[in-house]
Amino acid sequence: MIKLYPYTNLGKASHGWLKSSHHFSFAHYHNPRRTGFGSLLVINDDWIKPGFGFPPHPHRNMEIISYVRTGSVTHEDNKGNKGVTKNGEVQVMSAGRGVVHSEYNRSKEPLTLYQIWIKTNKMNVEPRWECKKFPNKTVEDKLPILVSGYSEDKNKALFIHQRARIFGGKMRKGSKIKQAIDHQAYVLASDGQFELHDEQTKKNLNKGDGAEITKTRFVTITALTNCEVVLIDAAEQ
């Protein structure tokens, strides 16, 4: 089953330097019917003005993933980690027993990214941070795996402490992918338009939309335009 969440219906926040659309309850946006999706707790679609960002703040026992769509984000934390994650790259922070970090747009262009929080399944681990660049070319047969909590993916994807995988990539208009789903999935239309189709439901997604996929083991993604797709396959709890 596929349930569509149009971009216009998402929770909104605007602070001048930050414009954010919340797929789930976050900060001052609270929707009792949208408090997460299994172990997936937060998806924020953020736009950040050049020279601005989030000053040092704490996190604990959470897997935090940033999927950078345009621009670049500079990360620094109190564990000595520092780095720049650019368009086409992904960063992961396992907050573990506690970490204080900052994220800023130090570039001269707006930063757009998805901030994704997934509940950890291993408490109080040593905090860690890493980023990775993935192929930025269009895909034809399958979405590349970007993030995974499974040992068999350790040489291909960034690691998190949870039974979850994140896939993402660009598709050319007219191309079609059949994507396996292990648990339940949340799909993001990062750019363009595409169709989702399972055994029961068919939905079209436009840029900014999201969709929940449940009670199915496969979904077909058909690119209606050149597009970019992000799929988060995460444990129910």
Phi, psi of 21 (to 5 degrees): -115, 125
* pLDDT, tens digit (0-9, with 9 covering 90-100), for 63-108: 999 999 999 999 999 999 999 999 999 999 999 999 999 999 999 9
Using the predicted structure, report yes or no on whether residue 183 has a pLDDT greater than 90. Answer: yes
CB distance 166 to 185 below 8 Å: no
Structure tokens given for 208: 């900014």
pLDDT band at 43 (very low <50, low <70, confident <90, very high): very high
Per domain, the residue ranges of the chain are 11-133, 138-234
Asked if 221 and 179 touch (Cβ cutoff 8 Å), the reply is yes
Rounded to two decimals, the pTM is 0.97
| pLDDT at 237 > cutoff 80 | no
Are 173 and 167 within 8 A, CB to CB?
A: no
User: 76 and 105 in contact (C-beta within 8 Å)?
Assistant: no
Top-level class of domain 138-234? mainly beta
Fold of 11-133: Jelly Rolls (2.60.120)
Single out the residue of 233, 211, 213, 216 nearest to residue 4, CA to CA. 211
pLDDT beyond 90 at 16: yes
Residue 130 · residue 158 · CB < 8 Å: yes
Length of the chain, in residues: 237
Q: Distance between CA 122 and CA 131 in Å, rounded? A: 21
Same fold, 11-133 and 138-234: yes
The CA distance from 56 to 234, in Å, is: 28
